[in-house]
Structure 1
Amino acid sequence: MTHRLFTLSFAATASLTAADWEAPNAPEAVGTHAFQVPEGLEVTLWAATPQLYNPTNMDIDAAGRIWVAEGVNYRRHKGRREGGDRIAVLQDTDGDGQADSSHTFVQEEGLVAPLGVGVFDNVVVVSQPPDLIVYTDVDRDLVFDPLVDKREVILTGFNARNHDHSLHSVTGGPDGKWYFNNGNCGALFTDKSGKTFRMGGGYHKNGGGDWFINSTEIAGKKSDDGFLWTSGFSARMNPDGSDVEIIGHGYRNSYEHAVNSFGELFQNDNDDPPACRNSYVLEYGSAGYFTRDGRFYKTVKRPKQDHGRAHWRQDDPGTFDAGDIYGGGSPTGVVFYENGALGEKAGGTFLSCEAGRNVIFSYQPEVLGAGYRMERHTWMNSNHDGQFVGSDFVGGGKAEQMADTDPDEVNPKLFRPSDVAIGADGAIYVADWFDPRVGGHADLDDSCSGAIYRIAPQGFKPNNPEIDLTSIEGAISALRSPAPNVRWTGFNALRTRGEKALPAVLALSKDSNPWIAIRAVWLLPHLGDEGLAVCNQLLQSADERTRLVAFRALKRAGKDVYRSAQQLAIHPSAALRRDAALSMRGLPPELASPVLIEVAKRWDGSDKNYLESIGLGAENHEAEIWTAMRDAFAPGDPLKWSDSFARITWRLWPSTAIDDLKARANSPELTVEQRDFAVESLSFIDDQGAADAMFELVTRDGLSKNSATSWLLMRGTGAWAKFGLSKKLAETGIYDPRKIEPIEVTVHKADKTTTFTEADVLELQGDAERGKLAAARCVMCHHLNEMGPHYGPDLKGWVSRQGAEMAVRSIVDPSADIAHGFEGSTLLLKDGKKIDGILISEGNPVVMTSTGGLTQMLPTGRIKSRKKMKHSLMLNADQLGLTAQDVADLVEYLKSY
């Protein structure tokens, strides 16, 4: 096992000054030859266990040291390492391209699998719920000493310790702010300015961990900034924890995000399989995982709606474009590469780790209207056959330790990239969690092995330029760095020098590399009157992206940009008009309306992010601003509205449009589609009048009765329940809890042993034609060939995603590893009936879908108890009456489906 021995020999050279704990098993790593990377680049092993264990996140400082957050005490292994987890510091002291020094910066009992570490000179920021902790290494000896150094909790109130959907890493932005994000566990925190943020949603005590707040109790409540946010969010703030600003929300679990030098935020996000994504985050926008009042997307899923569009609510107003939805996976760390050793062509590359697929994806986002075109490529890959294993989206399971092709090789599918970062030397560094399993709140590698790989041009010699932040020249050098947080230290140092730094900053703005040059623009508003004047001049730049950054720089610096927004609102660039609209957010309607009207006039009728920027700019004043738009556009008779104005009305959900929408819904002059769209628009207005209007459309047998009934039922038992529709719904028979007769549906747990095994099936040759006939038994629960419900996972591409062996296992023993998102629950009713199925909505009524796709609404008052099932909802092969040959035939058929 040469690569295992190589790892051990290599690791033995490390200076293990923190040998407080050793894993019980020998460390392992994937051989570097197993990776495919772009032509001209090579992969080398920079560090490996025991220099580091279970890396969850990393950052790289100006000296090239890599700081690693470790998760030895992850999930069910909490307490495995006494004294808590640690932040480790690894260094290549002799410059040979391999770490030869490793020690502990800090270790605390309260550090339990922290998911973020950010290094800003001698300031180290650790993300450990419920706290965001800042350690200042006062004596700069790279070891935290509580008697000398400083430890401060700058923010607290982030939910769920030892949970992947909680607080993630902090990174420095080009504007001098610190950026961080948090998963959908939610938060209730107060910044140093005294503003309290209530980040709520319908996710509570899911997936284990230690929970500090009940985010469901704050769902639908505004924060002190006056806006309504949901769990799963991004924020930026001053480094002292003041002036926090939420800049995106409605995520499921964005593991990390990256802000580039143009101020654009990109991230990935996880999914209840299969709709993971990589996207541009529209400022202040919602990704759509939760509704406005914090309900799960499943509670408002439309009939026959594509899962990806439903998961990110892409057909609802109030969400930004989901970007690239690529399917199942387990996305982790990201970074945006701008300059460095990989050359100019690599500039502008967004890299996103995908641990479930053993790859790192790459994108070079291109401006497309008010958003970005995201074309996906595979940048680093250890999965050569495209068969995935050990991940939720393929039913769980685990990857075998040894490779199929060579028993002396570590299986390359154990590569689980947890983070990717850029060094000050310009190379790319990738942290490997290394495990047979990813997701499902599990880790199966008892050796806690981890590795850091370096990807650089062949023959690369690392060089980390010495940086002196006390001099203007040194700060400029830092601002030029490929490493994002090193750049931040340069920005911060130059900002403190004020107008003295202006000549050097202006010189930097003329750099031939656009990514480096644009960094200077962010500093200009902070460099005295002359710097401010130069920034204002750039608002007239012929280069639209320079103009955009100048506008953003002034806004982030607290300058009045209203006049500039008026100019941008009529600019030919949709991106500039988008930012003009967003800058109206929070302004009185009499100021915001003129700018938003100009932006709205220039909407192409289809750009989702553009329309959403208008809605975000109008937030809290939608009715007044829509009225001003109606008067400005003079559409007259509501039956004569253009389709684009109808869609603007849909997005602004104005209470002042209720009568007009009702008229459109009832008009025989409009098409069915136009009438139905008016009903849909009405359903998103959070107003008693809208609920009453919808009820009238249902009970008066109008042209839109069927559509209105569907929306009324969804809203009347959801977002509109507060308007007291229960009595009216019951009186009309639309929904009367007293008359509901629940149907009992139970799924019996199969015997532990079946009449045949997985091995028996794998020995057989399958026949696809016979398998097509056997597949008829699957449509009771699975969507197959346009038949069957969307109850179990969609079988299209199922075998190709997870491989034949895992498919066989899932059919023979479905309870062995239940796919995430398809866990069952049991409802015991007060009348003694029992219902097994998947909880679609946990409001009142509870909505449960059971075997066969049977969906029932169950009033909470009829439910005695509810609990999660320990076995799968799927019947095993014996229960389905399948023989071993039937299973072999079925899998053979599904290989090509």
Structure 2
Amino acid sequence: MLQNQITIKTLVIVLFITTLYGCKNEPKTPIDFPTLSEQDKRLSENALASMEVADGLYLELFASEPMVTNPTNMAIDAKGRIWLCEARNYRLFANPDNSYDDTGDRILILEDTNGDGKADTSKVFYQGEDINAALGIAVLGNKVIISVSPNVFVFSDEDGDDLPDSKEILFSGIEGVDHDHGVHAFVFGPDGRLYFNFGNNGEQLLDKKGKAVKDMYGQEIIANGKPYREGMAFRMNLDGSNLEVLGHNFRNPFEIAIDSYGGLWQSDNDDDGNRGTRINHIMEYGNYGYRDLSTGASWQERRTGWEIEIPKRHWHLNDPGTVPNLLQTGSGSPCGILVYEDDMLPQKFHNQLIHAEPGHNVVRSYIIDESGAGYTAKVENLVKSKDDWFRPDDVTIAPDGSLFISDWYDGGVGGHKAEDIAKGRIYRLSTNQEYRPVSINPNTEDGATKGILSGNMDVFYQSWQKLYSMGEASEPLLKGLVAKGGIAKARAFWLGLQIPTKSNEYIEMALKDEDPKFRIQGIRMARYKGKENLEKYLSILTNDKSQQVRREMAIALRHIGTKTAAEQWANLALQHTAGDRWYLEALGIGGDLFPDLYFNTWKNKVGDNWKSEAGKEIVWRVGAKESVPMMVDLIEDKNVPSSKLASYFRAFDFKDHPNKNNYLINMLAWNHPLQNQIQAYAIGKMDPTFVHGSSKHIKIVKEVLPKIEGTPEWIMAIKNLDLKNQNEALLRVVVNGTNKDIGKEAANILFNNNGAPLIDEFLNSKVPESSKIAVMDMLNGISNPAAIELLKKNITNKGLSHAVTRKMIETLGNTGSGQHELYQLLEDGELAEEYKTTAVLKLMTSWNNEIRTKAPKFLSTQGEGTLNIAALAERKGNALHGKEIYSTYCSSCHLAADTGIEFGPELSDIGNKLSKQFLYSSIIYPSTGINFGFEGYSFKMKDGKAYTGYILSRTEDEITIKMMGGTQKTLELKDIAEQEALEQSLMTQGLAQIMLEQDLVDLVEYLGTLKVDALE
């Protein structure tokens, strides 16, 4: 509900207007935002009319176009001035119509000089092509850190004239140039260190000379799985030394937020369309599960025991070694995030996360509660807009405690497309409409003592530096801060840690505090000092009553590896409570580097009680060799719940033991109540070399296969063990299987095993038409030459029905090699007139420019000429008819509302993510808005075969791609002759040019209805 601070005597009409708009300088005539034209909705003077603001808060438009364009990230200095990275030159390779400025993008400084809450001056701090589309800015005294892949720049303004006197490279070689998934903003922490992250396109860190950067433990920062994968979060000293990887295997974390106690928080974006965006509490050194930790496989590749719900499956949450999510927020495009540690906003937002979510046009707070060793959170909206162009991408605290919001303001967010490069806005959220930045001089003792409590990063940084420089002389000031409690005390503890003669005293003060938050901080302070005395410090907290404290103790033991540390870890493990995944993963993180030493110490302590529910979880999680026979014992237990088996067997993928394969094959002969399930899981976990190395082993495995035919475990066993002579069984699953995914996998294996004649015989038999169409669904995306030849031959078979033939055309058109054959059928005049529309639609998805552009010539009618997107956006369509159009044109590559094929991005929430104008643009010009992760590649193999699709996963030896029709294909790197990135989208090119204009309008109207309820 919208509400502003007004007196009881205010006129009813004013109350109505204020309630509607929640802002200062309300218009005299109420504006009904939804009734405005699309053009009028874009005007900045109507922006506040779209906003819903939380109780007790004012929202003001601080700046807008033309002063600001495309802000990507924001900082506020100690003077209260707003610093912005602009991105007018965002992805020009995908937006060629953008007016490129060859002087490059700008770093702007905006200022409100008269306190009216609106920027009235703007100056350029720096402009250059080397900061085009920068994603991060941090202002720390006279230093400005700009994050823009491939570099991180540090600008210095020594004379204070708001122009840089020097520019140095801190890091280089970061991938993700002009890409949302590159390097992001830096944050100054209360411990005096810098924090930052990059997305999964960042890949590596090099120093300014191009040399690989190593972390403080000697590991190169490279996302190759040895040991780090995908996106990463980092911490380092101000000069770049002692760099640590705090977490890895993220997809695209936008920023790190750090609280005064050293707690770390981050948002992360899912693969578009899977409703799996998330908020993470970062347990240091954890794996966050975007890809398979062991193999690097995509979350889409079948694994034992994966979750039914894709948002959970997305993050490998069923795997041992994956840190749980604080909160999954559904669909969206999570961006800037912070911990609000100031006092202007209402009390319920104090010390809570505030987050910009442009995908749902909202700025949210996540109200966090403790739960065991972890956390839960509920959502409170601060600002929500009815304008689907409102794209808040960053939030920042001003010196007076107000919250500033930067707005990318565009029809879409992320991907390769920018609908508008001339707009951008900055808002101020407050309880005081006048913007009067607090005047603090951090260079004085009094100013620094006040400034150290500020939520503004620059004020805090400068105050921290002053108190730090005072050394022991700061002690009286720090004692005063400690007496205040709360964040004052926490920040004072960190500063006390910096005084060499007093650091031990401050660590012990924190460790012995009654409040567990400070004891947690004390552990982090002790770790800061190094591992030499860490065991001694941790002994102070033996048997601490707080699970949160014990969680942090477990993590602290990660790099020690002594017998004393093993004893401490074992003691913590004895206190594990079944069901607390946070605590379990903390134990795993703490024990992963010395699993045998730590685990065996626990095993000796726990004795026969290891089979408690808590003990079973520890056996499941820890990768010690001794845990393997113990897992076998758990499975062999006649009372093991059926629901546990998949999880238990998945754990074998993360464990090693010299007798593991023998344990697994012996399971096949057990006499067990759940023997069928056990056999099914066991054969898929054996090493292929072990199985094929003995005819006895092969015989045992093949005796099990008929019992589990058609199950996920059956298809995994056939694939993983490369079992032959299974064609009859594979055909049965293709024809009779109820699981389409398994059927498609079975069909692919069948063709690879020379089983095409079996399919041909079935299609030409007298089985019902519906059965033949169902088999075609299973053949989608299979590019085996035998499959292509089979389809081509049968398309011209006049003995098949119209429906079956049309389905065959669609199926043939779902592979690159099939498209060539289909085009040739058109060229040779072998395709009947009634099938040409279906064929052309499929050929317009081709990456081959000649096929794509020439295919429409075979149609007798074409679309209605030049399309005006702005005019189309004003029209209303028929969503019901649009759903039919979707089924015709889109469902062969996209899934929406559980209908279609999962090849391109899922569209079930596309109405939330893209405005109507952006939807039109994406359909008419699909190659300008390719979603990250869906860039197409073509592969030419040494044997002459060719494949096209997007990459699901890549290892040292192979690449797995997803092809049209949804089929996956694994290609051995040694067999690839040529790999080429496709400039064109895999989505239909020029689709709008062959559709009736009203059909296009109806399609967009339907797509606009595809919305998953935003998280509230």
**Alpha carbons 2:885, 2:1003 under 8 Å: kept:** no
With over 3 angstroms needed to count, the CA separation of the structure-2 counterparts of 1:343 and 1:661, relative to structure 1, is closer
Residue 655 (structure 2) aligned to one of 663, 667, 685: 685
Aligned residue for 1:387?
none
3-state secondary structure, aligned to 2:205 = strand
**Alpha carbons 1:589, 1:621 under 8 Å: kept:** no
Aligned residue for 1:749?
843
Distance 1:884 1:152 in 2: 54
Residue 97 (structure 1) aligned to one of 117, 122, 133: 117
Q: After superposition, where does 1:456-471 map in structure 2 within 5 Å? A: 456-469=430-443, 471=444
The CA deviation at 1:105 is: 2.1
The CA deviation at 1:171 is: 1.0
Distance 2:999 2:169 in 1: 59
With over 3 angstroms needed to count, the CA separation of the structure-2 counterparts of 1:850 and 1:562, relative to structure 1, is same
Partner AA of 1:443 in structure 2: A
Aligned residue for 2:139?
119
Aligned residue for 1:220?
225
Aligned residue for 1:176?
192
Q: Which runs of 5+ in 2 are unaligned?
A: 1-41, 207-211, 692-716, 727-748, 756-783, 789-811, 815-841, 845-854
Structure 1 residue 484 and structure 2 residue 578: aligned? no
Aligned residue for 2:241?
242
The CA deviation at 1:104 is: 2.2
742-751 or 609-618, which deviates more: 742-751
Aligned residue for 2:220?
198
Aligned residue for 2:316?
313
Partner AA of 2:186 in structure 1: V
Aligned residue for 1:453?
427
3-state secondary structure, aligned to 2:598 = helix
Which deviations, in whole Å up to 9, do the C-alpha atoms of 1:541-600 show, x marking residues without a partner? 222212222332333244833233234351121110001101101001413221221221
3-state secondary structure, aligned to 1:633 = helix
Residue 329 (structure 1) aligned to one of 314, 328, 332: 332
Partner AA of 2:162 in structure 1: L
**Alpha carbons 1:30, 1:414 under 8 Å: kept:** no
Structure 1 residue 187 and structure 2 residue 207: aligned? no
Which deviations, in whole Å up to 9, do the C-alpha atoms of 1:518-561 show, x marking residues without a partner? 32222222346456425413422222212222332333244833
Distance 2:285 2:310 in 1: 24
**Alpha carbons 1:43, 1:453 under 8 Å: kept:** yes
Residue 76 (structure 1) aligned to one of 84, 88, 92: 92
Distance 2:145 2:563 in 1: 42
Which deviations, in whole Å up to 9, do the C-alpha atoms of 1:368-413 show, x marking residues without a partner? 222221212222122x2xxxxxxxxxxxxxxxxxxxxxxxxxxx32
The CA deviation at 1:172 is: 0.8
Distance 1:455 1:755 in 2: 51
71-80 or 351-360, which deviates more: 71-80
Partner AA of 1:541 in structure 2: D
Distance 1:154 1:885 in 2: 49
The CA deviation at 1:112 is: 2.4
Which deviations, in whole Å up to 9, do the C-alpha atoms of 1:161-211 show, x marking residues without a partner? 32221111111101111111111121133569987653434xxxxxxxxxx
With over 3 angstroms needed to count, the CA separation of the structure-2 counterparts of 1:126 and 1:646, relative to structure 1, is same
The CA deviation at 1:461 is: 4.1
3-state secondary structure, aligned to 2:588 = helix
Distance 1:764 1:62 in 2: 51
Aligned residue for 2:168?
152
With over 3 angstroms needed to count, the CA separation of the structure-2 counterparts of 1:730 and 1:230, relative to structure 1, is closer
50-59 or 184-193, which deviates more: 184-193
With over 3 angstroms needed to count, the CA separation of the structure-2 counterparts of 1:885 and 1:333, relative to structure 1, is closer
Which deviations, in whole Å up to 9, do the C-alpha atoms of 1:124-168 show, x marking residues without a partner? 2222333332223222222113xxxx4333333422332221111
3-state secondary structure, aligned to 2:122 = strand
Aligned residue for 2:83?
67
**Alpha carbons 2:411, 2:915 under 8 Å: kept:** no
With over 3 angstroms needed to count, the CA separation of the structure-2 counterparts of 1:438 and 1:691, relative to structure 1, is farther
The CA deviation at 1:90 is: 2.0
The CA deviation at 1:732 is: 7.2
Q: After superposition, where does 1:859-878 map in structure 2 within 5 Å? A: 865=978, 870=984, 872=986
Aligned residue for 2:740?
none
Residue 69 (structure 2) aligned to one of 48, 53, 61: 53
Greater C-alpha radius of gyration: 2
Q: After superposition, where does 1:713-728 map in structure 2 within 5 Å? A: none
The CA deviation at 1:488 is: 2.5
3-state secondary structure, aligned to 2:186 = strand
Task: Give the share of equivalent positions with the same residue, in percent.
Answer: 27
Distance 1:130 1:817 in 2: 22
The CA deviation at 1:834 is: 5.5
Which deviations, in whole Å up to 9, do the C-alpha atoms of 1:282-311 show, x marking residues without a partner? 122122113335714336543664222222
The CA deviation at 1:63 is: 1.0
| TM-score (norm: length of structure 2) | 0.70
Distance 2:668 2:427 in 1: 62
With over 3 angstroms needed to count, the CA separation of the structure-2 counterparts of 1:680 and 1:635, relative to structure 1, is farther
Distance 2:197 2:981 in 1: 30
The CA deviation at 1:54 is: 2.5
**Alpha carbons 2:992, 2:1000 under 8 Å: kept:** no
Cα RMSD of the aligned pairs, angstroms, is 4.4
Aligned residue for 1:496?
469
Partner AA of 1:169 in structure 2: A
Partner AA of 2:615 in structure 1: F
Distance 1:885 1:459 in 2: 46
The CA deviation at 1:356 is: 2.3
Aligned residue for 1:616?
589
Structure 1 residue 358 and structure 2 residue 361: aligned? yes
With over 3 angstroms needed to count, the CA separation of the structure-2 counterparts of 1:89 and 1:688, relative to structure 1, is farther
Partner AA of 1:352 in structure 2: H
Aligned residues: 803
With over 3 angstroms needed to count, the CA separation of the structure-2 counterparts of 1:675 and 1:425, relative to structure 1, is closer
With over 3 angstroms needed to count, the CA separation of the structure-2 counterparts of 1:669 and 1:352, relative to structure 1, is closer
**Alpha carbons 1:277, 1:323 under 8 Å: kept:** yes
Distance 1:616 1:281 in 2: 12
**Alpha carbons 2:298, 2:953 under 8 Å: kept:** no
Distance 2:281 2:328 in 1: 12
Aligned residue for 2:625?
655
The CA deviation at 1:668 is: 5.0
Aligned residue for 1:401?
none
Distance 1:74 1:773 in 2: 33
Q: Which runs of 5+ in 1 are unaligned?
A: 1-25, 202-218, 222-227, 385-411, 718-724
Aligned residue for 2:155?
135
**Alpha carbons 1:666, 1:675 under 8 Å: kept:** no
3-state secondary structure, aligned to 2:83 = strand
Aligned residue for 1:473?
446
Distance 1:54 1:584 in 2: 45
Q: After superposition, where does 1:243-322 map in structure 2 within 5 Å? A: 243-273=242-272, 274=274, 275-293=276-294, 295-298=296-299, 300-302=301-303, 305-322=308-325
3-state secondary structure, aligned to 2:426 = strand
**Alpha carbons 1:29, 1:434 under 8 Å: kept:** no
**Alpha carbons 1:297, 1:313 under 8 Å: kept:** no
Greater fraction helix = 2
Aligned residue for 1:106?
126
Structure 1 residue 550 and structure 2 residue 551: aligned? no
| TM-score (norm: length of structure 1) | 0.79
With over 3 angstroms needed to count, the CA separation of the structure-2 counterparts of 1:335 and 1:29, relative to structure 1, is farther
3-state secondary structure, aligned to 1:234 = strand
Aligned residue for 2:695?
none
Distance 1:599 1:631 in 2: 14
The CA deviation at 1:607 is: 1.8
Distance 1:138 1:808 in 2: 49
